[in-house]
Structure 1
Amino acid sequence: MAENFRVMFAGLAQNTDQAHAISQLATKLKAPTAKVAAFFDNKPLFAPCEKEKALKQAKLLASVGVISKLQPVETSTASSTVASDNETSSQRDERIFNALDYITSSLIRIEEKLDDLEQRLSTTQQQANADEDEDWQNDDLLLDEELTTPIKKRSNVLLFSLIAMVVILLVLLGLSFAFPDLFSV
């Protein structure tokens, strides 16, 4: 990985006026004079770049009477990654907040619609109940049918067979107590 350098202000050449150098440099670079003036206060004018490009920038500055020095800049991908991660994180956070806002407003709209439907449904049910209440009073009672139905007789075969089985088992139990020798093997 190539090392990057930054061109920094070191001083002015002899017989060079700072205001004149600022105006000439601003004209050559087509940059605002405020940014060029900040360069004279040890603020960076150019972005960090490779050594060849930094030397060309220093040569340009020397042509207007500005003495400069090359300052090595540590190329830390971690710092650029952190900056981009912070930007990405802030953009992600903004998207998350926008999504949450959208979801919240959607939930509020759904809740309002449910309330409207509930009110409509309750009024509809009340009307239906009122109609039903009135209808049963208008119906004639059918008294022609018998009010009691005969009870169906079930087959008691199962019941009688269970009772017979229990009686036989009790008789066998009684015999086993009365005559223990009879059932011993």
Structure 2
Amino acid sequence: MNELFKVVFVDIAANQDKEQAAELLATKLKTSPSKVQQFFDGRPLFAPTDKTKALKQVKLLSTMGINAKLVNQADNSTTQVIDQERIFEALDYITSSLIRIEERLEDIEQQISQDKSNTSPDETTSWQEDELFEELDFDAPMPTKSKSWLYYLLAVLIILFVLLGVSLFFPDWFALP
């Protein structure tokens, strides 16, 4: 497995101003000045990469008057441990949330089953015996729709397919002079 290195800011060269170096770096890398400032504060500007590419990045920074060094990503195991702890905390939170949701669903299922057992058959059919429903005509026939539009669209579609077929088999007929 290749070792990964990251470029870390050390200091500014003696003949260079920090603001000028920041502006030059931001324009050269086409990034925001806030990211460059974060790099000066100790956060990485580049993603961890192999040694040759990281050395090129250090060389680029040195041409702009910024001193940087390489840090082996394996040496930075404390940040990896912290990241792993944060991941485990997040997984623990998600797991506990799922358990709480499952318990809540079980409570809701129990309440629903109790509600079903508490209702009597007379209560469930009483709404069906209302006189209001007798006035409504539920068996009204569906109005018949005219199929002439369907036939018209089908005829147009067939004509278009025929024209397409003729133009594919006899392209000379449709050639422009």
State the TM-score, normalizing by the size of structure 1.
0.50
Aligned residues: 124
Q: Which residue number in structure 2 is paired with residue 7 of structure 1?
A: 7
Q: Which residue number in structure 1 is paired with residue 63 of structure 2?
A: 63
- State the distance in 1 between where 2:95 and 2:110 align: 22
Structure 1: segments with no counterpart, 5+ residues:
124-185
Structure 1 residues 93-140: Cα deviation after superposition (integer angstroms, max 9, x where no partner): 4155235414423432442342342342699xxxxxxxxxxxxxxxxx
Using a 3 Å threshold, how does the CA distance of structure 1 residues 75 and 50 change in structure 2: closer, same or farther?
A: farther
Q: Which residue number in structure 1 is paired with residue 94 of structure 2?
A: 94
1:21 deviation in Å? 0.9
Identity of aligned residues (%): 32
- State the distance in 2 between where 1:106 and 1:36 align: 53
Q: Which residue number in structure 2 is paired with residue 114 of structure 1?
A: 114
Structure 2: segments with no counterpart, 5+ residues:
124-177
Q: CA RMSD in A?
A: 3.6
Using a 3 Å threshold, how does the CA distance of structure 1 residues 70 and 80 change in structure 2: closer, same or farther?
A: closer
Q: Which residue number in structure 2 is paired with residue 105 of structure 1?
A: 105
Q: Which residue number in structure 1 is paired with residue 17 of structure 2?
A: 17
Q: Tell me if the contact between 1:4 and 1:75 (Cα under 8 Å) persists in the aligned partners.
A: no
Q: Give the secondary structure class of the aligned counterpart of 1:111.
A: helix
1:61 deviation in Å? 0.8
Q: Which residue number in structure 2 is paired with residue 144 of structure 1?
A: none
The answer to whether the aligner puts 1:31 opposite 2:31 as a matched pair is yes
Q: Give the secondary structure class of the aligned counterpart of 1:71.
A: strand
Q: Which residue number in structure 2 is paired with residue 73 of structure 1?
A: 73
State the TM-score, normalizing by the size of structure 2.
0.52
